[in-house]
Structure 1
Amino acid sequence: MYKLFFLSLLSFCLACGTASRNSNQNDKYKNDFTSILNNYDLKGSILIYDPQEQEYYSNDFEWADRGFLPASTFKIPNSIIALESSVLRSDTSILKWDGQKRDFENWEKDLTLREAFQTSCVPCFQEIARKIGVANMKTYLNKLHYNGMDVRTENMDSFWLKGNSQISCFEQIDFLERFISKKLPILNTTRETMLRVFLIEEGKNYKLSGKTGWSYNEIDNNGWFVGFLEKDEKKYYFALNATPKDPKRMEKFTEGRKQAVYDALKTMKLM
């Protein structure tokens, strides 16, 4: 009886959460965001959340609710878990290069955590994941409520790059908001370190922080850019997920992921 009551209560809470989110979806910039993606030969979703107004804006809310491999956006929780479990101590912790050939020349050297994060050094974070280990990774992901990850011994250093792990734009923003609003059960030192790791650029009255991601599932390329904007003591969260319209035309894909978000924020007069 108690179990049935608990399950009913859980279902009710989940339904309320979904209803609340759906009621805050705003189509105001739908056409603008679609045009922006078209400019970069992309199809997908730009999702922006204004917590001050509790409004979500997107060109495609259904896409924003679909799960995709997190790819290098998983470097966010991977870094947090490494810091929480003392695999790494700070943003200046050194990740040693093993001398092996890597995909990019700027990965072929010793890197600090922040440098590895900013250059998206895949081998660096694969080594971090191996040091964390399967049991610790599962424990911390559960603690952080970072759901949808398929973590097993055989895929320990690749579960975020290929396979069945999934996260949506809405879930990316939920995680980032809990991080910024100090709702994640992590140390203040971890949070402050991650704020330094995250930072991409800083202007006179704003800071923009984020992480890109790119996965390939043998069918198509899938790109991410997730993060947050701090401006005039207000915060805004964003998550882009997109694929190239034409798999044979990838010229705009790499920079287009980030630039589309910049253009969307400018359209909303936030930058």
Structure 2
Amino acid sequence: MNIKALLLITSAIFISACSPYIVTANPNHSASKSDVKAEKIKNLFNEAHTTGVLVIQQGQTQQSYGNDLARASTEYVPASTFKMLNALIGLEHHKATTTEVFKWDGKKRLFPEWEKDMTLGDAMKASALPVYQDLARRIGLELMSKEVKRVGYGNADIGTQVDNFWLVGPLKITPQQEAQFAYKLANKTLPFSQKVQDEVQ
């Protein structure tokens, strides 16, 4: 699975980067380049006739770009980005393996791409919700709640329905928190085994 680079949640965008900044000798020149970059990113949102924020996490440093910077600290449902933590919990607690094939039940699904047998990796690439709902049901409400709280993911509130809390709430997370989470996964510093973090990467 490859989820290091780009995360999309509602109308906000988060990026987690693992490489260090290149520091130039001329701070004024660096600031100017940064301003130009910020303006370019802002214009991308404007040209798309939408509002959003891009959060970049490098080490302990975060930077936000876009045309609605307040979104960086605003909570949203994690939606598809929760697949990362869902997979980590499921693999860590042996509720599935990376080679296991989740069988399609033959019923019509929202997208034709979902209508087939898939591994967790296949489902991650296709953003196949039914597979990750199946995994969440295997994990169960009690263990899922315990793990989400242990990791400190967003507001850590999953409510009483184990297979849709990341889509409709009550679980919520900010772009800043999501970027931090993805950065830790990219650098394998989350409270999961190195093997499992490697597998989810």
TM-score, reference length from structure 2: 0.76
C-alpha distance in structure 2 between counterparts of 1:147 and 1:68, whole Å: 9
Shift of 1:180: 2.4
Aligned to 2:179: 173
Q: Is the 8 A contact 2:52 2:69 kept in 1?
A: no
Aligned to 2:128: 121
Alignment of 1:1-271 (within 5 A): 28=35, 29-51=37-59, 54-59=61-66, 60-90=68-98, 92-153=99-160, 155-195=161-201
Residues 184 and 50 (structure 1), Cα distance of their counterparts in 2 relative to 1, 3 Å cut: closer
C-alpha distance in structure 1 between counterparts of 2:194 and 2:44, whole Å: 37
Shift of 1:30: 3.0
Structure 2 counterpart SS, 1:64: helix
**Which shows bigger deviation, 113-122 or 32-41?**
32-41
C-alpha distance in structure 2 between counterparts of 1:113 and 1:36, whole Å: 33
Aligned to 1:203: none
Identity %: 31
C-alpha distance in structure 2 between counterparts of 1:64 and 1:149, whole Å: 18
Q: Is the 8 A contact 1:149 1:159 kept in 2?
A: no
Residues 40 and 86 (structure 1), Cα distance of their counterparts in 2 relative to 1, 3 Å cut: same
Structure 2 counterpart SS, 1:95: coil
Residues 55 and 147 (structure 1), Cα distance of their counterparts in 2 relative to 1, 3 Å cut: closer
Q: Is the 8 A contact 1:65 1:170 kept in 2?
A: yes
C-alpha distance in structure 2 between counterparts of 1:69 and 1:127, whole Å: 19
Structure 2 counterpart SS, 1:171: helix
Aligned to 1:216: none
User: Can you list the C-alpha shifts for 1:45-93, whole angstroms capped at 9, x where unaligned?
Assistant: 11222338x3514134321110001111111100111101111122x32
**Runs of 4 or more above 4 Å deviation:** none
Q: Is the 8 A contact 1:82 1:132 kept in 2?
A: yes
C-alpha distance in structure 2 between counterparts of 1:69 and 1:86, whole Å: 26
Residues 72 and 107 (structure 1), Cα distance of their counterparts in 2 relative to 1, 3 Å cut: same
C-alpha distance in structure 1 between counterparts of 2:200 and 2:143, whole Å: 19
C-alpha distance in structure 2 between counterparts of 1:98 and 1:152, whole Å: 27
C-alpha distance in structure 2 between counterparts of 1:193 and 1:139, whole Å: 22
C-alpha distance in structure 2 between counterparts of 1:183 and 1:175, whole Å: 9
C-alpha distance in structure 1 between counterparts of 2:159 and 2:74, whole Å: 23
Say what the alpha-carbon RMSD is for the aligned residues.
Answer: 1.9
Q: Is the 8 A contact 1:30 1:58 kept in 2?
A: yes
> What is the number of residues matched between the two proteins?
167
Q: Is the 8 A contact 1:149 1:160 kept in 2?
A: no
Structure 1: gaps (5+ residues): 1-25, 196-271
1 or 2 for the larger relative contact order (CA 8 Å, sep ≥6)? Answer: 2
TM-score, reference length from structure 1: 0.57
2:101 partner letter = I
More strand by share: 1
Q: Is the 8 A contact 1:107 1:119 kept in 2?
A: yes
Structure 1 counterpart SS, 2:167: coil
